[in-house]
């Protein structure tokens, strides 16, 4: 039916025309609320054109308003507008339409609903309905109210809406969608539901082309591999790779990694954190803080760099380690890392001599470490293996290492702590203090039993200073020394193997000095009780000299290389006073 035919139809009564005019004026009042602030089109006006309709039921020549019924179709600047009933005001270039609303823009975009208000001068549409649906090649968006600015290719829904793309479902209280750039902006209770994760935030920008989600408010991402939270950042919902700022944190049942910034691959459990980094292993009751953290989930390795402090909590004691760098090795499935390559394994089978091969040169040790360490946290993206970590296997600290426990304290260049065997190796001229005892060597190996100090092996250039009850310095030297402790970590025996020397003060029952005894013997064993030498066993031919108390000179009282270093001994307070001490104190550790 053409327009000329419609004009020839019988006009309705003036009362009917006035009725529809009032409806039209009311629609103009509603249209006055434009949340998108439509752009004023200052160019030549393009009029809305009727393509077809089943019938014309109203024609007001005064207001130039016509009403059409049945399969109505208009076209305006390439956009088709379909409905079952339409009121067309030619003067204002405006359409009010009802029933089975369809907007088609090219062959890519469709909007359907129940009611349409369309301003042809502004190219601005309002669509209402029980279910307003926008579809294009990228997404399907469902809501109950939608405004669409055709000049800017931008849709806006001021009421809750749901977006579906691939296997993801995104909901929000309101949102914007640019149909040209395929870029969304969501506000209010934003949630993305996916079979493998759930993202919750209050404001989110989303690029449907790159699958990149951008947020500037507090956001959480939950998945079977763990939870991520941050205040600002990006998250690719396809690759699960993220870059966060604003105190970001990743947590799962086994560990958490937190920093001022965080880059993380949630599929592999790998990433890096920068600034005030906190790593927590819940099952092992371990917290590590530092400048920077690297997490290699598929390798079972965490590396913390820069002013690191670690704290391992147990029922009987707490172990504090401060160092430049600290590695935490787990024992995951499918791992190719062998942490035993980092340190030279120390054997204890031959107690008569220290084997030179167990002495670890720092540079050689670090070279071995570099061989085992992954080059980058950006692992092979084709791997779909999910890391399954077990208990922590080993901790390695390097650079200005300080250790504090109630039963011993130490300084060293590096250490390796094998948690499975409860053995700690101290490298490069370590010094260890135990109560009133000071122990030094090129390398020291500690064995714990029931989390108590049990055995200490001093390898090469060994030196022990033991302070007796009246503050005399008993001194013992040798190539290799084994020190054994009781269940309370109190020194019981010292066994010297090779090049043994000692200076010790003989005391009577009233703790008065009998004399200073100087002994040289290849092998000897000292037994202690209540901080005093109870007895000594010599093997071989000892050479000894006893100097009476009045004849003891200052130079007689010290063995070569003697130095009392208690002023360098770490304390709990001195470690907590370091750069990240407060960060460690404020970290909440769950003891499991």
pLDDT at site 541: 87
Tell me the pLDDT band of 152, cut-offs 50, 70 and 90.
very high
Please say whether the beta carbons of 430 and 412 come within 8 A.
Answer: yes
DSSP state of 15: H
Lowest-confidence segment of 42-46, 76-80, 236-240, 568-572 by average pLDDT: 42-46
- Flag whether 321 is in a domain: no
**pLDDT: is 319 or 29 the higher one?**
319
- Flag whether 146 is in a domain: yes
- The residues, ordered by sequence, that sit 6+ positions from 310 with a Cβ below 8 Å of its Cβ are 286, 287, 288, 289, 304, 319, 320, 321, 322, 326, 395, 397
| Mean pLDDT on 254-272 | 91
Tell me the pLDDT band of 97, cut-offs 50, 70 and 90.
very high
Tell me the pLDDT band of 41, cut-offs 50, 70 and 90.
low
Handedness of CA 128, 131, 134, 135 (dihedral sign): negative
β partners of residue 249: 229, 258
Which one of 104, 124, 159 terminates a domain? Answer: 159
Which one of 126, 159, 192 terminates a domain? Answer: 159
Rounded Cα distance, 452 and 43, in Å:
87
Rounded Cα distance, 316 and 300, in Å:
27
Tell me the pLDDT band of 387, cut-offs 50, 70 and 90.
very low
**What does 259-317 look like in DSSP terms, one character per residue?**
EEEEEEETTTTEEEEEEEEEEEETTTTEEEEEEEEEEETTTTEEEEEEEEEEEEE-SS-
Structure tokens at 461: 């250039």
Q: Is 90 exposed, middle or buried (0-12, 13-18, 19+ CB in 10 A)?
A: middle
- Flag whether 228 is in a domain: no
The helix (run of H) or strand (run of E) holding residue 458 is: strand 452-467
pLDDT at site 468: 82
Domain count across the chain: 2
- Flag whether 498 is in a domain: yes
Cα separation values, 276 from 73, 202, 307, 323, 581, Å: 63, 26, 10, 15, 11
Return the closest-CA partner of residue 203 out of 194, 192, 228: 192
pLDDT over 70 percentage in the chain: 82
pLDDT at site 200: 96
**What is the CATH number for 132?**
2.60.450.10
| pLDDT at residue 386 greater than cutoff 60 | no
- Flag whether 474 is in a domain: yes
pLDDT at site 129: 97
Which one of 159, 190, 206 terminates a domain? Answer: 159
Q: Quick one: CA torsion of 459, 314, 306, 372, rounded to 10 degrees?
A: 60
β partners of residue 168: 165
- Flag whether 354 is in a domain: no
Domain of residue 495, residue span = 404-585
Return the closest-CA partner of residue 131 out of 106, 154, 164: 164
**pLDDT: is 71 or 349 the higher one?**
71
Structure tokens at 196: 């493998």
pLDDT per residue as tens digits for the range 154-185: 999 999 999 998 888 999 999 999 999 999 99
- Flag whether 410 is in a domain: yes
- The residues, ordered by sequence, that sit 6+ positions from 556 with a Cβ below 8 Å of its Cβ are 503, 516, 518, 547
| pLDDT at residue 362 greater than cutoff 90 | no
| Mean pLDDT on 120-145 | 96
Which residues in 212-246 are b (16+ Cβ under 10 Å) and which e? bbbbeeebebebebbbbbbebbbbbbeebbbbbbb
Please say whether the beta carbons of 163 and 137 come within 8 A.
Answer: no
Please say whether the beta carbons of 522 and 499 come within 8 A.
Answer: yes
| Mean pLDDT on 225-254 | 90
β partners of residue 475: 465, 503
pLDDT per residue as tens digits for the range 305-360: 999 999 998 777 889 999 999 999 987 555 444 554 444 433 333 333 333 333 34
**What does 104-134 look like in DSSP terms, one character per residue?**
EETTTEEEEEEEEEEETTTTEEEEEEEEEEE
pLDDT at site 417: 96
pLDDT at site 43: 54
pTM score above 0.85: no
Rounded Cα distance, 188 and 162, in Å:
12
Rounded Cα distance, 181 and 305, in Å:
42
Lowest-confidence segment of 67-76, 258-267, 503-512 by average pLDDT: 503-512
- The residues, ordered by sequence, that sit 6+ positions from 570 with a Cβ below 8 Å of its Cβ are 320, 322, 402, 403, 404, 409, 410, 411
Map tokens 């002023």 to a residue: 567
Q: Quote the Cα angle for 272-206-383, to 5°.
A: 45
- Flag whether 290 is in a domain: no
Mean pLDDT taken over the chain:
84
| pLDDT at residue 21 greater than cutoff 50 | no
DSSP state of 548: -
Handedness of CA 379, 325, 370, 252 (dihedral sign): negative
Return the closest-CA partner of residue 198 out of 237, 163, 164: 237
Q: Is 428 exposed, middle or buried (0-12, 13-18, 19+ CB in 10 A)?
A: middle
| Mean pLDDT on 573-590 | 86
pLDDT at site 302: 94
Cα separation values, 61 from 25, 66, 448, 507, Å: 16, 8, 101, 127
């Amino acid at each position: 039916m053409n327009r000329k035919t419609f004009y020839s139809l019988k006009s309705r009564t003036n009362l009917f025309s006035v009725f529809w005019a009032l409806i039209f004026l009311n629609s103009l009042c509603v249209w006055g609320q434009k949340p998108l602030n439509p752009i004023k089109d200052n160019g030549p006006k393009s009029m809305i054109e009727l393509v077809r309709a089943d019938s014309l039921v109203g024609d007001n020549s005064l207001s130039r308003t016509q009403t059409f019924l049945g399969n109505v179709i208009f076209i305006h600047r390439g956009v088709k507008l379909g409905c079952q009933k339409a009121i067309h005001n030619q003067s204002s270039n405006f359409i009010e339409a009802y029933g089975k609303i369809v907007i088609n823009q090219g062959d890519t975009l469709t909007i359907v609903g129940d009611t349409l208000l369309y301003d042809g001068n502004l190219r601005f549409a309002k669509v209402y309905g029980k279910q307003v649906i926008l579809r294009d090649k990228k997404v399907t968006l469902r809501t109950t109210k939608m405004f669409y600015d055709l000049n800017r290719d931008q849709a806006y829904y001021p009421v809750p809406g749901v977006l579906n793309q691939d296997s993801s479902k995104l909901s929000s209280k309101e949102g914007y969608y640019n149909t040209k750039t395929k870029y969304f902006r969501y506000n209010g209770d934003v949630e993305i539901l996916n079979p493998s994760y759930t993202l919750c935030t209050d404001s989110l920008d989303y690029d449907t082309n790159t699958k990149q989600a951008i947020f500037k408010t507090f956001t959480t991402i939950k998945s079977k591999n763990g939870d991520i939270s941050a205040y600002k950042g990006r998250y690719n919902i396809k690759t699960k790779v993220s870059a966060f700022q604003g105190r970001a944190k990743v947590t799962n049942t086994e560990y958490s990694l937190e920093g001022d910034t965080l880059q993380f691959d949630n599929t592999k459990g790998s990433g890096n954190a920068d600034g005030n980094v906190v790593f927590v292993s819940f099952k092992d009751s371990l917290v590590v803080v530092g400048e920077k953290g690297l997490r290699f989930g598929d390798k079972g390795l965490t590396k913390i760099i820069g002013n690191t402090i670690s704290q391992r909590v147990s029922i009987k004691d707490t172990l504090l380690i401060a160092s430049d760098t600290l590695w935490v090795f787990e024992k995951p499935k499918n791992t190719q890392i062998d942490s035993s390559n980092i340190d030279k394994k120390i054997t204890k089978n031959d107690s008569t001599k220290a084997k030179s091969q167990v002495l670890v040169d720092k540079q050689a040790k670090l070279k071995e470490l570099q061989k085992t360490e992954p080059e980058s946290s950006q692992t092979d993206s084709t791997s779909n293996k999910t890391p399954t970590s077990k208990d922590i296997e080993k901790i390695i600290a390097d650079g200005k290492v300080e250790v504090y426990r109630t039963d011993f304290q130490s300084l060293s260049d590096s250490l390796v702590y094998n948690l499975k065997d409860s053995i700690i190796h101290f490298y490069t001229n370590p010094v260890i203090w135990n109560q009133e005892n000071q122990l030094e060597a090129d390398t020291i190996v500690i064995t714990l039993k029931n989390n108590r100090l049990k055995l200490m092996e001093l390898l090469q250039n060994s030196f022990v200073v033991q302070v007796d009850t009246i503050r005399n310095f008993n001194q013992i030297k040798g190539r290799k020394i084994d020190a054994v402790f009781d269940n309370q970590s109190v020194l019981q025996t010292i066994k010297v193997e090779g090049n043994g020397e000692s200076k010790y003060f003989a005391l009577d029952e009233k703790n008065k000095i009998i004399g200073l005894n100087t002994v040289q013997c290849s092998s000897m064993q000292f037994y202690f009780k209540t901080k005093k030498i109870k007895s000594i066993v010599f093997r071989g031919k000892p050479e000894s000299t006893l100097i009476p108390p009045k004849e003891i000179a200052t130079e007689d009282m010290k063995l070569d290389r003697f130095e009392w270093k208690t002023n360098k001994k770490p304390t709990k307070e001195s470690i907590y006073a370091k750069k990240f001490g407060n960060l460690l104190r404020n970290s909440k550790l769950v003891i499991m």
